[in-house]
Structure 1
Amino acid sequence: MTTFFVSHNLQVASDSCPPWDGQKLAEGLKRFCPEVTSAEALSHPHWRLQMESPLDAARFAEELVRGWSSLRSECGHSVQHVFLALGGRRDTPAASSSPLGLGAWGVDVVETPDAVAFLEGIQWEQLKACRPADGVFEVLYKPLQVSASGTLAPGG
């Protein structure tokens, strides 16, 4: 079983893409992520959700960002931006105040108009270089949009 502790980093400044209520987000992701066995809202200053799935971390992250985008669409929110899941596995004992136990994943779901600028801004490549290759992941998802001509095209 893979455990994710999920935070949300909303970089889209628009009324059409509001911040999430934790409970609504947990309930929606349960519907849109078929391999999720549990999703619970947390009362924590950083972590919004705790989720579990039998999928490995990379596949779980792919399902998470697709489900997040689908939930936005269902709610009538904008999805004309990029969804990122940036994850790191807890490989050392956590501070007593941290909910992440050994082997759990801290996952930041980022909604941003510019993934490259965001990743450069947080120096993602340098952060990844400090971690074992199997202890970190990044998933980028850009929903398809219907163009003015009625054809599908990458969003954004």
Structure 2
Amino acid sequence: MSNSRRRASPSLLYAVKQVELAVRAHLDDLLKPAGVTALQFTALTVLERRDDLTAAALARNSFVTTQSMADLVAALHRRGLVERFRDPDDGRRILIHLTDAGRALIDEQRPAVEALEKRMLDGLGASEVEVVRDALNRMRQNLEAG
């Protein structure tokens, strides 16, 4: 068989994107009964780890554009899952804070989300999971660096 007819393996970029799309689809299905999307849930979990962020910082950490985040935060605010307030150190900045209702929603959904992650990692040993986690984090850092 000639080189031009041999099937090449999908690129790593393609494989990463396919995993991301599969995870997002499953998360959307899991979270639909709670009335939130995967992107909204991601933003809530970012605020759980690091509260009182600007919309721009939350967008960077949630993998969406600042404009998309503005719409997303507005929806979460209407649901009472986040609050917005002026930064006491810089009155021009608006900070976003996770509410008790937002924390409760995360806690309610955590078992299903953890089960999905477990399913995704089925067949991988603990050391393999750490290698994948470390490699993905390094890849992200490489892209952020330049």
Higher percent of residues as helix: 2
Higher relative contact order (Cα pairs below 8 Å, separated by 6+ residues): 1
Taking structure 2 as the reference length, what is the TM-score of the superposition? 0.28
Higher percent of residues as strand: 1
Whose radius of gyration is greater, 1 or 2?
2
Taking structure 1 as the reference length, what is the TM-score of the superposition? 0.26
